[in-house]
Structure 1
Amino acid sequence: MKIAPALPFLIAAAVGAAGGALAARAVPGMPAGPVAGAAAGAAFAALARRRATSPGAGLTWGLAFAFLLWLVALAGGSDRAGAGLAPSGSMAMLDAARARFPELVAALVLLGAPLGLALGTLGALSRRAEGPRLAWARALVVGGLAGIAGGVAFGRWMAQAGFFPLVAGLVGSTSIAVGMTVHLVIAVVIGMSLGVLFQRDLRGFGSGMGWGLGYGILWWFVGPLTVMPLWLGRPLDWSWQRGAALFGSLVGHVVYGLLAGLLYAAVDRLWVGLFTGSDPIRREPEGPGLNLLRAVRWGAGASVAGGLLLDAALVAAGAMPARPGAFGESLAVSALLGAAYGLLFRDEAPDRGSAIAWGLVYGLVRWYLDPLTLAPILAGGTFSWTPAAASALLPALVGHLGFGVVTAEAFLALERRHAGWLLLDPRFAARAARRRRPSGTPAPALWVFALGTGVLLPILLG
């Protein structure tokens, strides 16, 4: 389908104008409106119209664009407020960010997401004959199964927090059983949409977790902060205080997205291998078992330096448990999670830049899953997804991000060293090239949005 060159700009300007008008109504005092929204839409079209090749790719670029737009506006509006001594300047920046939290929600929900979906849909129509087509049955079935698994995990916190009667209110009930049913239905629908939007982008287990992380965060902004109050007839409250009150729901959405993305990637790969990917002629240079063991060994070895860095950060922050053997236990956990990194992100990072980005994503994932969720359970207690708990663990967040980067860089060095001799054979070199994420894919936008919001929200809401 041939698209006129001016059409993406016209559509983006129209969608941006509508989003700007809605944002100005939803957030009084926000410097937005139809003209500002149209200008933002035209700017987004100029930057991303060739990269928004599908609704999922467009959505990812749109969210990254809206987040960066908010950061630029925040920096421009807080320079004067942050002048002075460093401590007071830092607190002034935090206060300014909290005061402008409603603008972040509006930028993502009313501007970035609609712009991305609109241009992505247009891009998909214009490139209908290019690339692989969306396998609808695979996306819906696999996405639905992944959504159920993520929904069950999220449901544990909802039961603990007493959220099911509130969810049941969406259909005019207060029954816990009805709330559980509605929650699972929503989880299935979101899982299906994950498959439809990102089937081409979830190229492996690690990227599945990354896209699940970003998609889960998006649905926290869309669901409990926006759609739920409107559905229940309540006024919108996009204040940071309301966000802090829903911090547990944020972590629940993150956990849902991580599990749904990981399971989607796993089941999708199994589906392709069983039904569409059989090719006995183009054999792998090494068996899958050997590749699996090598990834585990490399990941565990790569985690040594990252684990030492993490432990040093915990000791410096006074967050290392004061009990015998705590240091050794932490290194053992790091080795285990390093092995998991090898399994999840093998073939995901062909260069140092992407290794750093995926390492940061993995470190952020570990922080949400390990000290914030699993560690309290393994200690005989229960998880506490509260702003206070997140604030107490912020020093550990820095250490976990460092762990991810160092582990990813060390793993890349080991992977490159072994892959050198394989690439001498042109058949294997061609196969390795197909596994690489091509330029222009929305992975950089995912890194900006998922890492930016995933790190920023615990700081703002804590």
Structure 2
Amino acid sequence: MLAETNQMPMLDLARLHFPELVSFLLLLGAPLGLLTGWWNSHQVAHSPTTHTYLRAIIVGGLAGLVGGWAFSSWFVQNNAFIVIAGIFNSHSLTVGTLLHYTIAIVIGASFGLLFQHDVLSPGSSICWGLAYGLFWWFLGPLTLLPTMLHQPIHWSYLYGASFFGSFIGHAVYGIWLGLVYALLDRLWVKLFITSDPLKREIEGAGVHTLLSLLWGALASLAGGLLFSLIMLATGVLPRLASLIGASSPFPGFIVHMIISTIIGMSYGVLFEHEATNVQASLIWGTLYGLAWWFIGPLTILPLLLGVPITWTMQAANILLPSLLGHILYGGLTGVIFLYLQRRHMDWLLIDPRLAAREERLLRPGGTPAPALWLFVLGLGIVLPIILG
């Protein structure tokens, strides 16, 4: 606009400036974030009994190992183990496999060190893990790998497109990393950190979990119905029907609603304390829907149909309408879940002690969660379009 030149089409312009996207993330955003975080960590005192480096490294390393296992299927299909073995001037499959899992463990441990204070629930941990996995796609195969292989760095969108399968793999790795980290971290707290018996629960853990499952299932019905309109228009329902040996849209619709209900139930359990208002519920649900686009139609569905995992640009292009459907599904499910949860909680919070406890469990203001939302949604939606 300042140069008063004719603007090229938006997609071509975005592809032209893809190298600047990589450089802004790696050379500006990452150093700025690390320095700001380091400075803020010295201004706020954290209790050494609840957050420790040992806990972050061990839990994060184990979670990274599981994430590396989920990522390994792409490595097998594309002979990538041989490629990364070249870092040590080797062509051994064993060397490449060991190096892959070592890197996965190191990234997982660094996730624990960097995000231990931001992970408040398994749901938010999944989103943090997804963001960290996407970041490592820029830092790993696009930057560090060619450097270690003594090759020039190409930050063009064509080079990025050649690693599109790795992009989805990093997303799946991050999702598993975040989920397993949150579960193991909770187990660590239960086993090694003493709880205070005076801080009573509002309800029994079993009752609260069942209610969260119920609210998530009910909320997913509306999201699933909205999503089904897109699936009907794009002809995806017969493919879902093939899971039960049928071929018509109606059985596919039934399968779709069952899957939607299961995903909604998992949302209720994973995000029960993250939704503080309608805006937050909308975004957390949207992020969860985006995560399921990576692990659902691109990963789990091909496995259920007995075909190889389709982490390719062609598959992603075909499933772009499904990406929109997952986002709409997640956002609507999150909002309705909040409504159902509030209806139940209103009468429980009459007791000020119980209200204070619930306030402690909710994500406070001033956290970097909005930056996480922008980062994941921006890259998760735009990159499949640009690289495709």
1:401 has 2:327 as partner = yes
User: Partners of 1:79 and 1:249 in 2: how far apart?
Assistant: 36
Indicate the residue corresponding to 1:313 in structure 2.
230
Indicate the residue corresponding to 2:38 in structure 1.
121
Among 172, 186, 200, which residue is 2:103 paired with?
A: 186
Matches within 5 A, 1:226-375: 226-321=143-238, 323-324=247-248, 325-375=251-301
Post-superposition shift, 1:320?
3.1
User: Partners of 2:334 and 2:26 in 1: how far apart?
Assistant: 32
Indicate the residue corresponding to 1:132 in structure 2.
47
1:242-296 CA distance string (max 9 Å, x none): 1111011011111111001111111101111222142222120211111111111
Post-superposition shift, 1:318?
3.4
1:377-420 CA distance string (max 9 Å, x none): 10111111011110100001101100001100110000001111
User: Partners of 1:386 and 1:411 in 2: how far apart?
Assistant: 34
Gaps (5+ residues) in structure 1?
1-74, 83-91
Contact 2:273–2:363, Cα closer than 8 Å, also in 1:
no
Indicate the residue corresponding to 1:100 in structure 2.
17
Indicate the residue corresponding to 1:380 in structure 2.
306
Contact 1:78–1:93, Cα closer than 8 Å, also in 2:
no
TM-score by length of 1: 0.79
1:427 has 2:342 as partner = no
Post-superposition shift, 1:80?
4.2
Task: Supply the RMSD in Å over aligned alpha carbons.
Answer: 1.5
User: Partners of 2:2 and 2:360 in 1: how far apart?
Assistant: 42
Indicate the residue corresponding to 2:65 in structure 1.
148
Residue type at the aligned position of 1:450: V
1:346-399 CA distance string (max 9 Å, x none): 111110010011011011011111111111110111111011110100001101
Among 338, 351, 369, which residue is 1:443 paired with?
A: 369
1:58-86 CA distance string (max 9 Å, x none): xxxxxxxxxxxxxxxxx98899415xxxx
Indicate the residue corresponding to 1:3 in structure 2.
none
Indicate the residue corresponding to 2:386 in structure 1.
460
User: Partners of 1:76 and 1:244 in 2: how far apart?
Assistant: 30
Indicate the residue corresponding to 2:28 in structure 1.
111
TM-score by length of 2: 0.94
Post-superposition shift, 1:313?
1.3
Higher relative contact order (CA 8 A, sep 6+): 2
1:173 has 2:99 as partner = no
Tell me the secondary structure at the aligned position of residue 385 of structure 1.
Answer: coil
Q: 1:150 to 1:281 in 2, by over 3 A?
A: same
**Count of residues in correspondence between the two structures:** 377
1:220-261 CA distance string (max 9 Å, x none): 000000011011111111111111110110111111110011
Gaps (5+ residues) in structure 2?
240-246
